[in-house]
């Protein structure tokens, strides 16, 4: 798996667009997130449909066409340096086919940030644009607006990425060892749902796979992992990093399932790496080559990026 193109880091005064490709956005949380961005000396602009709600399906932030138009317009605007998702939820898979990827490729690289349902866009940006993207807290997310650790790690990644080239998880190795590869992944259920679609990778071979999820029963997590295994998508992966499993089963059960399904791959696996649906979520750059040190099973797992997340 090859490394992807790194967008340029942000500088004070940079213009950043906030869009809502998935679920509806609470206005008070959006305003709190915008205040934080302004406090970083950024100039946030909000897509015209960010606060919309679909007339029939209220789990969507407006129509598919409007959500796609906001994202494409922001990306193709030459005055915009970064596109930040407001929140996840559900909806990217309904609108991703409506994007003009040729036009977005012509607009050149810029920073893209999000997680959860945005996993489908991380895959699309990798396959269609060949770009490094940031898996991290979103502009109107509770985990972002109320957590200093999440804010600081994201701010450092955006402005001073060389200062966060080493990421220590605090978790232990489920399978010890060292591995090198290109970071990829995201929300487990979305990775499984993306199999066979036009904008998803056909394989994670050679990658360091980051996995997390929220609100899923163990048998569903089992089904997603089993589907990825049966499809051959996990053949040849280099290592696995496990993030948060908020509102899933007890973590002992999740851990046992991961070992049952992935332990036989013979690659290093580190748990509780601190990304995803959790307080203080770290920002992980997808598309950057890195080394995972899973230690001897008792120490802290460490991820060291070959290069800063942003150029």
Active site residues: 116, 212, 277
3-state class (DSSP) for residue 59:
coil
Quote the CA–CA distance of 144 and 278 in Å, as a whole number: 10
Write the CB contacts of 70 (distance below 8 Å, at least 6 apart in sequence): 19, 20, 21, 47, 48, 49, 50
Distance from the first to the final alpha carbon of the chain? 20
CA 31 remoteness from chain centre: 22
> Which burial class, exposed, middle or buried, applies to 221 when counting CB atoms under 10 A from its CB (0-12, 13-18, 19+)?
buried
Quote the CA–CA distance of 10 and 236 in Å, as a whole number: 35
> For residue 119, which of 182, 25, 183, 187 has the smallest C-alpha distance?
187
> For residue 165, which of 141, 183, 188, 143 has the smallest C-alpha distance?
183
Quote the CA–CA distance of 84 and 191 in Å, as a whole number: 21
Residue at token pair 């199999």:
195
């Amino acid at each position: 798996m090859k490394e992807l193109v790194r967008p340029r880091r942000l500088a004070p005064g940079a213009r950043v667009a906030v869009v809502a490709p998935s679920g509806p956005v609470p206005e008070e949380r959006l305003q709190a997130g915008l205040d934080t961005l302004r406090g970083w000396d950024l100039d946030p602009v909000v897509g015209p449909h960010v606060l919309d709600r679909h007339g029939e399906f209220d789990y969507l932030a407006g129509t598919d066409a409007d959500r796609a138009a906001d994202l494409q317009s922001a990306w193709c605007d030459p005055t915009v340096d970064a596109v930040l998702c407001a929140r996840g939820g559900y909806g990217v898979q309904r609108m991703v086919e409506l994007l003009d990827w040729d036009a977005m490729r012509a607009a050149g690289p810029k920073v893209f940030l999000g997680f959860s349902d945005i996993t489908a866009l991380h895959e699309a940006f990798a396959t269609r644009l060949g770009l490094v993207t940031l898996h991290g807290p979103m502009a109107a997310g509770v985990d972002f607006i109320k957590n200093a650790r999440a804010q600081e790690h994201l701010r450092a990644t955006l402005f001073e990425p060389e200062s966060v080239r080493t990421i220590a998880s605090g978790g232990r190795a489920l399978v010890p060892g060292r591995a090198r590869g290109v970071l990829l992944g995201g929300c487990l259920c979305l990775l499984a749902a993306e199999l066979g679609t036009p904008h998803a990778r056909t394989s994670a071979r050679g990658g360091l796979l980051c996995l997390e999820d929220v609100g899923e029963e163990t048998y569903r997590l089992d089904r997603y992992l089993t589907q990825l295994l049966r499809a051959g998508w996990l053949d040849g992966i280099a290592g696995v990093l496990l993030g948060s499993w908020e509102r899933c089963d007890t973590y002992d059960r999740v851990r046992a399932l991961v070992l049952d399904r992935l332990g036989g791959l013979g690659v290093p696996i580190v748990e509780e790496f601190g990304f995803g649906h959790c307080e203080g979520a770290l920002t992980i750059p997808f598309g950057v080559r890195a080394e995972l040190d899973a230690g001897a099973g008792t120490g802290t797992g460490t991820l060291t990026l070959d290069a800063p997340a942003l150029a």
